[in-house]
Amino acid sequence: MHAKNQGDYPRDSSPKISFIQRHLRLVILWPLLALLLMALLWSAIYSKLANDKKLLQENAAKQAVSISKAYAQYLTRTLEQLDQLSQQIKYGWERSNGYLGFEEMADQGLLNIPQFASIAIYDENGVPVTTTIPVTETFTVTDRDYFQFHQKNVSSELRIGAPTIGRLSKKKIVQVSRRLENEDGTFGGVLVIGIAPEFFTLFSDDPILGHDGILAFVGEDGVERMTKVNDHYSDGLSLIPLPTAKNNGIADMTANVALLPSAQTHFITTQKINDYPFFVLVGLSKEDILLPYEDHHDMYRKIAIIGSGILFLFAAMAMWMSIRLAWRKQQADAIRETYRIATEGGNEGFYILLPMRDRNGYITDFQVVDCNEKGASFYNIDKEKFTGVKVSDFYSGSYFEKVMGAYRIAMETGFYEDDYPVPPESPIDAEWLKRKFVRSENGLAVTLRDISEPKRHEREMARLATEDGLTALPNRHWLMTYLPRALATAKANHTMLAILFIDLDDFKNINDTLGHSAGDQLLCTVAMRLRSVVRASDKIIRIGGDEFTVILEAIHSEEEAAHIAFSINQILREPFDISRDTTPQKNKIGASIGISIFPRDGQDVETLIKNADIAMYAAKTGCKGQFRFYDHTLYEDIKMRLNTEQELLQAVKEDQFLIYYQPRVQTLTGKLLGVEALIRWQHPERGLVMPNDFISLAEETGLINPIGEIVVDKVCAQLAAWIKQGVEVVPVSVNVSPHQFNEGKVKKMLAANLEKYAIPAKLLEIELTESAMMRNVGDIFDEITAINGMGIKVHVDDFGTGYSSLSLLQRLDMDVLKIDQAFTSQLGRGKDGEIFFTAIVSMAKALGMRVVAEGVETIEQLKILQTLSCDEIQGYYVARPLPAGDIAAVIHKQNLFP
């Protein structure tokens, strides 16, 4: 047999199989590596999804807090307006003793009826007295919670009830109510303002709440006043149980997001409303918030499945091909494809930048090596052309260095993120960008997102919260935020700061006579004039109504503040052109200004504002149209005035008044012809207080009306007592304030007292100052005519101190003219006094009036008056004012001359 050659034997396996045999370790490693990569891929996908979900939840929480804060600020202003409106209606109603109806209130500018579903006033029995909606059926509201609450609680605070069906409007309303009181402080009824729930969400017509967003207005009692789900108003929060003070501490919650355990469908946040027992509840739908997450979840899952399949295939191919470079290339291709799928479908611009360095390794520029379509669109360039460009191709100068500074920080720290306001020189067409830089090996991964719209919304919400809607000036909320920073700056710089508190004088007359539209026009003009006289650095704020504040920063002396205050007074004294019925009218007002200086008059905001207000009050009570600096004595004066006002109110309630009587006698014989009733205040601590010490305050506060009624009642009661005692009674004259005549109820009051005490009208006489006759001549004429018709004589008191005319005296048909003691005191000091007195007597005689000389103190004055044909005299020469018990003895005398 022949031996076989070696070449006849079968050859070894192919090189690929040999490679596998020689590198069996690598063959096993690739599947293991593939499994590891698949695990990492799935872990990264789910980590990314978890991070995305967390980010969406955090953004939703921030967004809910922002919305709740804005809505809370809106509701604060709304509640303040409702509070002020109800106080004005309450004041108008109580001041008119239940006479003033809503039509009169609307004419006086106290309310704007079309804003509300209904407004009604119910008396102490729950019966409607006056309403803005006609009452078509008989009903009471005694079963209503608000009526029972105000009936039992002596509080004038505003109450906002839960939504219910109004008995007047027949619609679902939120009832805002306030207690009304009688003159003696007892329960006098309830003011109810019925408001549609939509009124509390006028600002919220914004898609930011989402499809199923919730907006609620909740009280500390856990009861919602208004609930808005999506665009519909609900009877309650059916999706999310309302938090209460008991179950989750709503009373202690601030602006923190609270994800309620049972609120599985919404993100919830609450916000306390300042100064009111209410909260705002905002809920953002999880379905809306997490919608991008759900979309990405399916997409990433597909990506993970595809990636796992690719890795598995790659591992199989690596085992058979054993070519490391082919494996790496295929792996790079798979990763790049995954990157494309992940970045091209997003709303963010994505870039890969490589740094360009000089010899020393310093980064001088960056080059774009990759990007997505969205990233290229920020620069209005196609993706293919954008790849390869440098940062310096788009930026230059100082702006280039600013951009590079952010890139270098990211390269040094590994991460950089900010919200970036885009300057005008930037090639990117956006206002704000969200920038994120992440260092990746030797380059930067950059993402850009346009956040211009959310920023615009944020600015608008901030503007609405801090700007006065009428004048566009900053409002009180802005002032309380800005002033602490201004004080800190002044303290750090060792400079002074002045606060000017400005209150317009006689502004109410503009509103009452020309209407609120004219008043609004005047306020806007005042704002423009204030801007024209203050410095560019000064701040002007409208506090509310007709009150403004000016902050003067970085001043070095009082003179600077005084100069600006003087300029403000001067420019506001100039007439205002106010259009009414297309015809311009000239109107004059003024301003009273109070000034407090930091640090002299206070170290904090509250103290400085309070002291400026005190100084303004002092300026207004002294002489309108002036300015005053704060002085600590002003506080004591105002405190004393307020104390006196409270004591006077208590005196009215407790009837601490006495009536003294001063005789009036015939000039020639000294025969008693009548007495004048003069009030005295029997103060429990200060003793007997003279009228000069409290009558002016009573007129300013409106207490003169009840005091006048007390005087008439006491005088009529005394007349009845004298008659019963058999005293030959003489007429008694009573002083009536102009305020009482303005109310138009003098005749009714006199008639009621004459009937009550059954005394003849001829025994009661009325004294009215001539200055009072110049006000509302038509109304005064009607009242005096009616009083004369009752048989009551009317005296002109203190003649010569006011501004009256002969025609007015003749028209009013007065009976007695009482010449002021200032003219009587001049008798015997020269011929001028007698000449003037003679002229007055002649005028009075021509008008058929008797003349009484007041303040006669000497026998010399008496003798002169006897020669001047003066009919009657009154003064200390005859008798001082006497208590009622001494008058009977005086009446029995035939001659009262000493």
Sequence letter at residue 261: P
Mean pLDDT of the region 44-69: 83
- Cα distance between residue 801 and residue 274, in whole Å: 52
Phi/psi at 187 (5° precision): -65, 125
- Cα distance between residue 579 and residue 18, in whole Å: 105
**Of the spans 157-171, 273-287, 722-736, which averages the highest pLDDT?**
722-736
- Cα distance between residue 609 and residue 627, in whole Å: 15
The confidence score (pLDDT) of residue 245 equals 38
Residue of 661, 659, 671 lying closest to 873 (CA atoms): 671
| Greater model confidence, 102 or 602 | 602
Q: Angle at Cα 205 formed by Cα 200 and Cα 208, nearest 5°?
A: 120
pTM, two decimals, is: 0.43
Instruction: Encode pLDDT of 448-505 as tens digits.
Output: 888 888 888 777 777 777 788 888 899 888 999 999 999 999 999 999 999 999 999 8
Mean pLDDT of the region 869-893: 91
The confidence score (pLDDT) of residue 12 equals 44
Residue 238 has pLDDT above 60, yes or no: no
- pLDDT confidence of 372, banded at 50, 70, 90? confident
| Greater model confidence, 610 or 85 | 610
The confidence score (pLDDT) of residue 1 equals 44
Instruction: Encode pLDDT of 350-364 as tens digits.
Output: 888 889 988 888 988
Least confident of 526-540, 668-682, 777-791, 851-865: 777-791
Token pair belonging to 717: 């009661």
Token pair belonging to 100: 């003033």
Assess contact for 266 and 284: CB atoms under 8 A: yes
Provide the pairing of β-strand 547-555 with 496-505. antiparallel
SS3 422: coil
Instruction: Encode pLDDT of 266-285 as tens digits.
Output: 778 888 888 888 888 888 88
Q: Which residues of 669-710 form beta strands (DSSP E)? A: 672-683, 687-689
Q: How far is CA 822 from the centre of its chain?
A: 49
Residue of 175, 173, 133, 183 lying closest to 150 (CA atoms): 175
> 745 in the Ramachandran plot: left (φ > 0), alpha (ψ -120 to 50) or beta?
alpha
Assess contact for 141 and 149: CB atoms under 8 A: no
Q: How far is CA 587 from the centre of its chain?
A: 27
Q: Angle at Cα 196 formed by Cα 470 and Cα 113, nearest 5°?
A: 55
**Of the spans 55-59, 593-597, 893-897, which averages the highest pLDDT?**
593-597
Phi/psi at 458 (5° precision): -65, -40
The confidence score (pLDDT) of residue 237 equals 45
Mean pLDDT of the region 98-117: 67
How distant, in Å, are the alpha carbons of 157, 218, 347, 556, 862 from that of 76?
15, 13, 37, 37, 69
The confidence score (pLDDT) of residue 723 equals 93
Mean pLDDT of the region 364-387: 85
Residue 330 has pLDDT above 50, yes or no: no
- Listed in sequence order, the residues at least 6 apart from 748 whose beta carbon sits closer than 8 Å to its beta carbon are none
10 Å Cβ neighbour count for 728? 10
Token pair belonging to 854: 């007041």
Reply yes or no: is the peptide bond before residue 424 cis, omega within 30 of 0: no
Assess contact for 522 and 589: CB atoms under 8 A: yes
- Listed in sequence order, the residues at least 6 apart from 27 whose beta carbon sits closer than 8 Å to its beta carbon are 20, 318, 319, 322
Sequence letter at residue 80: E
- Cα distance between residue 105 and residue 130, in whole Å: 11
Least confident of 167-176, 432-441, 457-466, 689-698: 457-466
| Dihedral sign of CA atoms 30, 32, 35, 37 in order | negative
- pLDDT confidence of 806, banded at 50, 70, 90? low
Average pLDDT taken over every residue of the chain: 81
Residue 332 has pLDDT above 60, yes or no: no
Mean pLDDT of the region 626-645: 79
